[in-house]
Amino acid sequence: MNNSKGKIGAIVIWLLFIVISYYFLLVPINIQSPAFWAYLIIVLAVGAGLFLLNQLFIERQIAIRGQVATYLIAVTLLLTLVGGIMFLYSSPIFHAKKYASLIEKQEGDFATDVSEISWNQIPTVDRATAMRLGDRKMGEIVELVSQFNVAPHYTQINYRGKPVRVSPLEYADLIKWFRNTKEGLPHYILVDMVNGAVDLVTPPENIKYSESEYFFENVRRYLRMQYPTAMFGEFSFEIDEEGVPYWVVPVREHTIGLFGGPDSKEVILLNASTGEHQKIKVGEVPEWIDQVYEADLIMAQLNYNGRYTNGFINSILGQQGVLATTEGYNYLAINDDVYVYTGITSVVRDESNIGFILVNMRTKEATFYATPSAEEYSAMESARGAVQEKRYTTTFPILLNIEGKPTYFMSLKDAAGLIKMYALVDAEDYQKVTTGETVQETVRKFTNQAPVSEEESSGLDERERFPLEGKLVDIQSVVISGNTYFYMLLDGEDDVFRANIKVSEKLPFLKIGDEIRGEYVEEFQGVKGIVSLE
C-alpha cells in the first residue's frame, strides 16, 4: 500500500512540476526548438529523481530492473545523446553553403537608392534619449506616474511618413496592476525621432494584452496558449496608420537540419486592445508593419553569409574572402520602410569597412554598397575628438546621403545624457568632421566644406536643367578647396542657389536687386546648382 501511495505521490508532484513550469517557461511544443528538448530532458530528469526518492525513502530500496526511474533515466540519456548529435549535424560544419545562403545580397548604388533628406528630416533621437523623453512626459502627469511606467520597448517604426519610436505603458507594480488591470493600459508613448516631440496617445480602446499582465492576458502567455507549437521571435510593439496598437511576433523555423538556419516564416499579428490575432505569411504582411525580421537575426545571417561563402574550412584556415559585420548597427527610414544597416569589414576587424549593407526589416531584401569607409566606432571617435574638451559622448551613427555621399550623423551628449551638439562625418574620410549646435547649422557647415572637384562640377551638366529667373535678394562668395562659389537667395525662393566662378565671369559683379536669368539643376535637398547665366 505504501509503495502505491508513494508512486502516486511522485506522479502528482511530477505533474504539478510540469504544469507550473510550463505556465512560467512557455516553451514551444516543437521538435525544432532547442528549448523544448532542454525542457523535456529536465522534466524527465525530475521525474526520474522523484521516483528514485520514492524508492529510497518509501520502498527503502533501489531497484534497477523494471522500475519507472530506470526507464526515465534511459530516455533522458537517449534524448540528450540524440539532441547533441542533431545539434552538431545542424551546425555549419556540415552545411556551410546553406548557412551562407540564408540571406541573399545584391549590389546597389548608394546615391541612387538612398534619397537625400533635408536637415529638418534627420532623426536626432536615439533609443536612450527617447526613453528619457518618455519618462519625463510621464512625470508631468501626476495621476499616471503614480500608477504606470513606460515599458522599455521603444520600437522604431515609420508612422505616417515619419520615423518615430513607440512604447506601451506598464503597471508600476503588483498593487497598481490589481487596481488597473480591469480597464487595461490607457495610453502609449510616441516619440518623434526628428524633433523629439513626445505624445501620450490614447488608443481607440485600452491596451488589455501586454507583457506587464500577470495571468492569461500576458501577451506571451496568451499567444502561447493560442499557438502552442510556434517558435516566437522578438515581440515588437507597433501601431498601424490609425494609431491602433498591435503586437507583431515573428514565427521562427529552422531551415537546416533540426536546429540550424533560423529564419522567419510567418508573423502573428495581435491587436493589443481586443486580443484578435491572425497568422500571416511573411510575404503577405501589411505594409505598415516595419519589423518582421529582427535586427539580431539579420546580423547573424549576414555573418553566416560573410563567413561561410567559401566553405567551413576556409572560415578557419586561410580565411580567403571571409567578411564580418561591424560591432554595431542602426536603423534607417527609406520609402516608408525601416532598414537596418551595418558596416562590412574583413574578418580581422580593422578600423575600415569595405562597404556597408542595408536590409529591409519587412522583406529581408539586402543591398550591399561597395564603398570603402571608416568603421562606425572610428567615426564616433573622430566626432568626439572634434569637441574633446567638452567630453561629450556620441550616439551610434545614422547613415545619411549628403550630396550623394554616405555620411555618418551623430548626436553629441553631455554627462547627463542631454543632446548638446550634432556631428557629420564623411564615411569615406572620417577625418572630415563638422559639428554644430543645431542640425541645420551642422548640415550647412558640412556641405560648404565638402570639396567639389571639376569632375563633379561637370557632372551637373548631365542632369535635367530647369529655367532660372528671379530677383537677387542676397549673394555671398566662399572659397571651398581653392574654388570660388557664389551663394544666392532669390525673391520668392526658399532654396539656395550656388554657382562656381567658372559658370560666368559676371558672377563677381552681381549685386542685390539684379534680375538674373539662366538654368539650374537639382544638386541636393535645399540647394540648386546654377549651370548657366545669360
Residue 457 reports pLDDT greater than 50: no
Residue 300 reports pLDDT greater than 80: yes
161 alpha-carbon distance from chain centroid? 17
Backbone dihedral angles phi then psi of residue 47, each to the nearest 5 degrees: -60, -45
What letter does residue 361 receive in the DSSP assignment? T
Residue with cell 537546416: 256
Q: Give 483's strand partners.
A: 480
- Given this model, what pLDDT does residue 394 score? 92
The pTM for the full model equals 0.79
Lowest-pLDDT range of 19-23, 95-99, 529-533: 529-533
For 268-287, write each residue's pLDDT tens digit.
999 999 999 999 999 899 99
- Given this model, what pLDDT does residue 463 score? 60
301-315 core/surface letters (b: 16 or more CB in 10 A; e: else)? bbbbbbbbbbebebb
For residues 259 and 253, give the distance between their C-alpha atoms in angstroms, rounded to a whole number.
Answer: 9
Q: What confidence category does residue 455 fall into, taking pLDDT thresholds of 50, 70 and 90?
A: very low
CB burial class (10 A; 0-12, 13-18, 19+) of residue 490?
Answer: buried
Residue 393 reports pLDDT greater than 50: yes
Nearest CA to 430 out of 402, 405, 408, 452 is that of 408
The average pLDDT across 390-405 equals 89
- Nearest 5°: the CA angle 32, 34, 40 is 100
Backbone dihedral angles phi then psi of residue 247, each to the nearest 5 degrees: -105, 125
Residue 60 reports pLDDT greater than 80: no
Residue 191 reports pLDDT greater than 80: yes
- Given this model, what pLDDT does residue 3 score? 62
Collect contacts of 278-287 with beta carbons under 8 A, ≥24 apart: 279/227, 279/230, 279/251, 282/250, 282/364, 283/363, 285/362, 286/240, 287/336, 287/362
Between helices 34-57 and 68-89, what is the axis angle to 10°?
Answer: 160
- Given this model, what pLDDT does residue 405 score? 85
Listed in sequence order, the residues at least 6 apart from 135 whose beta carbon sits closer than 8 Å to its beta carbon are 150
For 331-370, write each residue's pLDDT tens digit.
988 888 899 999 999 887 666 788 899 999 999 999 999 8
Domains located in the chain, CATH noted? 2-89 (no CATH), 101-122+325-450 (no CATH), 125-284 (no CATH), 454-533 (2.40.50.140)
Residue 524 reports pLDDT greater than 70: no
For 470-502, write each residue's pLDDT tens digit.
999 988 887 765 677 888 899 888 888 888 888
